[in-house]
Each structure stands twice: as C-alpha cells, then as structure tokens.
Structure 1
Amino acid sequence: MFDIIVWGGAALSLAGLVGLVWCILRVMKARKAGLSDDELRTAVQGVLPWNMASLFLSVIGLMLVILGISFG
C-alpha cells in the first residue's frame, strides 16, 4: 500500500521537475530572443503560473514520498 504512495509521489515530483525545466528553457529562449523589457516581462509573467504549478506538484510529490516512507 505505502509503496504505491512512495512511487506515486516520486512520479509527481518528477513531473514537477520536468515542468520546472520546461519553464527555465522557455524563459532562456525568451531572453535569447532579444526582446524588449516589456516583452520579456510579459513572457516571464506567462510562464509564472506554470512555474508555480510545477513547484507545487513537486512539493506535493515529495510530501507523499516522505509520508509513504514514514508509515511504510
């Protein structure tokens, strides 16, 4: 039972990590495009909700891993 929680949490953390890497690559691409300050700010503001969601997903996954290890 708790193995499922641990592996599910690991999968959520991995999904969150992939999302964070995607956000980093997206902002790096916008920076290299040579956009103006306002355009760059708009691009970063568009990535910000995805960044927060990925971070939240990763944290929830790590909590599940810790919970599964503690109770298992």
Structure 2
Amino acid sequence: MVATADFDALIRTPIKEILEGIDSGKFWQIHRSTIVNASAVESVSRDFRGQATVKVKGRKENLVVSRPFSHLFKQM
C-alpha cells in the first residue's frame, strides 16, 4: 500500500523493486511492508519496551518501526 496525506493506494509492486527505484536518503524502509518519506517524519516515540513508532505529517495513525530498522531513529 502507498499512503499519502490525501489517499491510500494498493499496489502490487514488490517492496524490493520500489526500494531499488527510490533514493534511500529520502525514503526509509521502517518495516517489511512500510517505506516513509524521511522529510515527512514529524516525530518518533518509544514505548516502555523500546518499540519505536513514527508520526508522519498529514496522517492520523502512527506507523510501527520494526526492530531491524530502528537504527534509523537512534539519534532522533
């Protein structure tokens, strides 16, 4: 799924293909099925277990950051 501030769209392209075609400095994979625009990250929070979640500008829900990708937010 591709989610923007305005709409969600279901796509059939494998996430690996998407990652190969985008700038890894601007777009970060945060979960096996989720890529975010780094400039759209509003905030990062952690729960008592250390599980990170990301608040993306224009979206109501927070997105979960899986453990293999949590290193992206260590300094935030």
Q: Which structure exhibits the higher relative contact order, with contacts defined as CA atoms closer than 8 Å and separated by 6 or more residues?
A: 1
Q: TM-score, normalised by structure 1?
A: 0.20
TM-score, length of structure 2 as denominator length: 0.19
**The structure with more helix, counted as a fraction of residues:** 1
Which structure features the higher share of strand residues?
2
Please identify the structure whose Cα radius of gyration is greater: 1
